[in-house]
Structure 1
Amino acid sequence: MVISKSLHKGYKIALCISAFFVVLVTIHIIAKEGLHFFNLNLSKVYEFRRASAQTVAQGFFAYLNNWVFKVFNMFLLTWALYKNKKIFIIISLLLQVFFFAISAHKSVLFSPILILLIRYISSKKQLPVLFPFFYLTGIGCSLNIFLLFNNIWPLSLIVRRALFVPAFLNFKYYLFFQNNPLIYFSNSVFIKRLIHYPYDIPVPLLISEFIGHNPESWANTGFLGAGYAQLSYLGIIVYSVLIGFILRIVNNSTKTYPFWVGSSLIAIPIFSVFTSSDLTTGLLTHGLALGIFLLWLIKTNIAKST
């Protein structure tokens, strides 16, 4: 009885923590006059992103905003879907659109779409077939949009940005650090006091200059390129083992409730780790560690409710 009671409180704690920080970030955005940057035009996000970040994403909120956009609000959406609370589903979706309009990050807008897709596909028996089917359908629709309306943006997002850009950047990281000093985690806030960072600018800006892009653009890559930048091939191996260990923890935590619930909570941070962030950045900045913590809080209580 004592264990059951504490786990029930754990589930409530997860909801309360998520709701509290979602409300806090919303109030912070309004208080900082972030509404001046409200924009729903996907083609203009780069015009607003930097100014918005300088206003509403300074200090601790640079981290907290990410956690709210990618973990806390997505947890509330997942909970609402699981409990079939339609009003909370709508509120969570509207909040996510609001967060996108202020932050000017397209990933914020598409995060709930990924969760809704996971929820839908998980209810079907042909799970291994549906994922590639939907992706190929998206490519086909994007290609038709390009051919009919000469609009390359959907095709660029679904094909170029999702498939080619991560692979291209991983290879450029490999080329650069094959002939230049490795980082050895000296770009970390904690390690840089012990190990000298060998460059004058952050690694993503360094790689952007190396490939001849805008020197102010950030060439972020996933764990393969980032792992090589840290420890060469050993970094790739270590990161791969750690990610496998993390996924094993998540898998063990989701045995007592529907697979899609656990998948939804870590889908966005995991996607970042595979495509656009170092593993350490994914765990902290992108909220993967928080997602695992929320899974731990809710796992047995959900099993009890089912």
Structure 2
Amino acid sequence: MIRLFLVIAALRTFYDLVFVFYIVPIWGYLGYSFEFNALGGILALLQLLVLTALTPVRVEKPSDLALTLLSAFLVLPFQTLVVFGGGSLLQLASPFLSLVIIKLLTSGPAYRMRPVKQGYSVYVAFSICAIFGYLAFAVASGGLSNFNIDITRVYDFREIQKAEIQSGVFAYMGNWVYKIIIPMAAVLLYAQKRYVALCGLLVLVLAFFGMSNHKTTLVLPFVGIGVYHVMRRRPTSHKIILGFIALLVVSMAVALLTDNHLLASFLVRRAIFASGANFMNYEIFFGEFGHLYWSNSVLSAFLDYQYEISPSLIIGEYVGSGANANSGYIASGYMHAGIFGIVIYSVILAAYLKFLDSFAGTQNGTIVTAVVAGPLLHLYQNVDLVIAFNTHGLALLAILVYLAASVEQRGSNTASGARPRPLGQGLTPYRKV
């Protein structure tokens, strides 16, 4: 516990220093400013002590990882923005409230799920068909006509490519392939030591990135692999946080030594502070002009949506950038129903994690947990929970994990003595933890 506290405190200190001495001077034109809040600092320190007790010491199932990432990517950055960046006390409380709800609702024994016969085979067949089916569609639709793998020019090509290869039902399929199916397959192949197949899959990742120009296409497979690699021996939260600190230090070193801010912009500004900065704008705008109450999504048949553009574009127009001001489930929950919306989203997310926990036995825990790492980070930083479940594939992920984790029945059933074959039909070198 002491080790975990020291690591969490180190990460928070790193955030503070980076925000004051890098984010504000370099990226201040995006709205970042230095505004010290003494009361916020005292409350954040007290919150930090409680946060250590709520963050799992060992990460053995998806809900453990969710709490660890929530602490590192939302609670701590929001603290920094409240203490040094002009954030409100509501911003300090919101992610912490969500963490407490998820912690309480995911405690206790997991559900017991009936396995699907030949489930792993169904998973493999579906994944192969989805990947190559969408690849064929993308190529046939002109995806190679504006092919680009220069990460500095993605915004020059993204809208053109979106119109060509992400329209209608294929908009869903593209997101599912990029953000769920390929990252999950990458973790499985790495865990099974099928490195040739993994290299082939990563070539496809590069091809899909060139046709879609979404940076997450490149990043998500490595997020899952990285989490699996860290967890496979002694899965502790402080190791995951230390690994993340190492990435941040490298990105900052590159920025300061070479004056190339690309990596720091993505890993530090975008992944750490953008979500919190957008929360401030969501809080101000929807607190003043009224909440949406899901009138743009699940309740659109009953409530009129009062705007002509999406909520993220509304905030982009409001702050003057004109771009999509995407934020995660905390900000979007507040956008819909204030604190009550955050509570609803936290309860739904806890139920989802509890379902995934049921597949994280002693053999499957590491791999199932690693599979959900990327989608969770995407949910925390970029997308509304409702949209995450359909357009971005969280519901599909639960189905695929259920299929891939199902016991293969060969000759006799489990009750009569057959040994269960977990994810990868027993080919993964699992370690009991």
Range class of TM-score, shorter chain: over 0.9
Q: Assess, with a 3 A threshold, how the Cα gap between structure 1 residues 266 and 126 changes in structure 2: closer, same or farther.
A: closer
SS in 1 for 2:144: helix
- Residue matched to 2:182: 73
Contact 1:77 1:88 survives alignment (8 Å): no
Normalized per residue, the structure richer in helix is 1
The residue type equivalent to 2:270 in the other structure is R
Decide which of 402, 405, 430 is 1:296's aligned counterpart. 402
Contact 2:359 2:365 survives alignment (8 Å): no
- Residue matched to 2:340: 234
The residue type equivalent to 2:313 in the other structure is L
Decide which of 254, 259, 274 is 1:165's aligned counterpart. 274
Q: Where do residues 34-49 of structure 1 align in structure 2 (5 Å cutoff)?
A: 34-49=143-158
Q: In the TM superposition, what is the alpha-carbon distance from 1:265 to its structure 2 partner?
A: 2.8
Q: In the TM superposition, what is the alpha-carbon distance from 1:181 to its structure 2 partner?
A: 2.2
Aligned residues: 298
Q: With a CA cutoff of 8 Å and minimum separation of 6, indicate the structure with the bigger relative contact order.
A: 2
Q: Where do residues 183-198 of structure 1 align in structure 2 (5 Å cutoff)?
A: 183-188=292-297, 190-198=298-306
Q: In the TM superposition, what is the alpha-carbon distance from 1:83 to its structure 2 partner?
A: 2.4
- Residue matched to 2:317: 209
SS in 2 for 1:192: coil
Contact 2:182 2:221 survives alignment (8 Å): no
2: CA distance, partners of 1:264 / 1:88: 19
1:254 aligns with 2:363: no
The residue type equivalent to 2:312 in the other structure is P
Contact 1:66 1:285 survives alignment (8 Å): yes
- Residue matched to 1:10: 119
Q: In the TM superposition, what is the alpha-carbon distance from 1:255 to its structure 2 partner?
A: 1.8
Contact 2:148 2:211 survives alignment (8 Å): yes
The residue type equivalent to 2:383 in the other structure is S
- The structure with the largest alpha-carbon Rg is 2
Decide which of 138, 142, 146 is 2:251's aligned counterpart. 142
2: CA distance, partners of 1:35 / 1:259: 39
Q: In the TM superposition, what is the alpha-carbon distance from 1:271 to its structure 2 partner?
A: 1.5
The residue type equivalent to 1:141 in the other structure is V
1: CA distance, partners of 2:310 / 2:201: 34
2: CA distance, partners of 1:65 / 1:264: 22
1:21 aligns with 2:127: no
For structure 1, list consecutive stretches of 5 or more residues without a partner in the other structure: 1-5
The residue type equivalent to 1:46 in the other structure is Y
2: CA distance, partners of 1:38 / 1:260: 36
- Residue matched to 1:3: none
The residue type equivalent to 1:282 in the other structure is A
The residue type equivalent to 1:225 in the other structure is A
Mean alpha-carbon deviation: is it higher for 69-78 or for 278-287?
69-78
Contact 1:266 1:292 survives alignment (8 Å): no
**Amino-acid identity (%):** 26
Deviation string 1:44-91 (CA, Å, 9 cap, x unpaired) is 000010000010101111110000011112232223223222222111
2: CA distance, partners of 1:70 / 1:112: 8
Mean alpha-carbon deviation: is it higher for 113-122 or for 69-78?
69-78
Contact 1:256 1:300 survives alignment (8 Å): no
Q: In the TM superposition, what is the alpha-carbon distance from 1:118 to its structure 2 partner?
A: 1.2
SS in 2 for 1:35: coil
Deviation string 1:157-204 (CA, Å, 9 cap, x unpaired) is 11111111011111211111111121111111x522221001121100
The residue type equivalent to 1:206 in the other structure is I
SS in 2 for 1:266: helix
SS in 1 for 2:116: helix
1: CA distance, partners of 2:315 / 2:238: 37
Decide which of 381, 387, 392 is 1:281's aligned counterpart. 387
Q: In the TM superposition, what is the alpha-carbon distance from 1:266 to its structure 2 partner?
A: 2.3
SS in 1 for 2:269: helix
Decide which of 218, 232, 244 is 2:324's aligned counterpart. 218
Indicate the RMSD between aligned Cα atoms, in angstroms. Answer: 1.6
Q: Assess, with a 3 A threshold, how the Cα gap between structure 1 residues 126 and 72 changes in structure 2: closer, same or farther.
A: closer
For structure 2, list consecutive stretches of 5 or more residues without a partner in the other structure: 1-114, 409-419, 427-433
Contact 1:228 1:235 survives alignment (8 Å): yes
Q: In the TM superposition, what is the alpha-carbon distance from 1:126 to its structure 2 partner?
A: 5.9
Decide which of 228, 234, 238 is 1:119's aligned counterpart. 228
The residue type equivalent to 2:306 in the other structure is P
2: CA distance, partners of 1:255 / 1:172: 41
1:200 aligns with 2:343: no
Decide which of 208, 212, 228 is 1:99's aligned counterpart. 208
2: CA distance, partners of 1:180 / 1:257: 50
Displaced runs of 4+ in structure 1, greater than 6 A?
none
The residue type equivalent to 2:182 in the other structure is N
2: CA distance, partners of 1:256 / 1:129: 20
2: CA distance, partners of 1:7 / 1:111: 27
Contact 2:119 2:405 survives alignment (8 Å): no
1: CA distance, partners of 2:401 / 2:254: 39
Q: In the TM superposition, what is the alpha-carbon distance from 1:8 to its structure 2 partner?
A: 4.3
Contact 1:272 1:286 survives alignment (8 Å): no
2: CA distance, partners of 1:16 / 1:252: 23
